Amino acid sequence: MIGTLIYVQDVLRLLRLLNRKYKLLLIITSLIVISDQVAKIFVDRTMHLYQSIEVLENFFHITYIRNKGAAFGMLSGADSSLRVPFFLVMSTLAIGVIVYIIHKDEGKRDLFPITMALILGGAIGNMIDRLRLGEVIDFLDVHWYQHHWPAFNIADSAITVGAGLLILYMFKERKS
């Protein structure tokens, strides 16, 4: 209990030292990583692989899938001795680039740290799966009758929303 209290005090002290941009980045990234990992662990411990639970008829299921590839299962058929290191290196590079971009940002753009935190949190969430399992747990399953979208997870959603906001932000920057 005392150790936890000291840890919380250290975290609060660190947050006071950080400027607004880094606080926002740390909080949003942490929330995404934690919610993503908690959801994946819950699905892994309470469902069987390929089990599907209907949430909204003909629209949304929770379906436990393990994705060995990237988005939409790309490279899932590649040999694991090449695939796993490749994805880990690419994730590490992406995380490094995102951190560098955030660091270089002068903080004049309010939504930019949020946008980058979404992408960073998603990248870290999926990287944790690759380190832990060699693959990524997907469970959000959206479809419209027979039209089916590949299953995804909270990390994928954060990356997609962040990338969409980044594109909108780039269009806004071009206009000004």
| Catalytic entry in 36, 129, 138, 141 | 138
pLDDT digits (tens, 9 = 90+) for 80-94: 677 677 778 888 898
Residue 133: per-residue pLDDT: 92
**Residue 71: pLDDT band with limits 50, 70, 90:** low
DSSP state string for 1-44: -HHHHHHHHHHHHHHHHS-HHHHHHHHHHHHHHHHHHHHHHHHH
Q: Which residues contact 109 (CB under 8 A, 6 or more apart)?
A: 169
Distance CA 33, CA 15 (A): 18
- Please say whether the beta carbons of 75 and 136 come within 8 A: no
Q: Is 79 a catalytic residue?
A: no
Q: Is 129 a catalytic residue?
A: no
Q: Which residues contact 25 (CB under 8 A, 6 or more apart)?
A: 102, 113, 116, 117, 120
Domain boundaries, the chain: 18-175
15 pLDDT more than 70: no
| Catalytic entry in 36, 129, 141, 156 | 156
In percent, the amount of the chain with pLDDT more than 70 equals 80
Three-class secondary structure of residue 141 per DSSP: strand
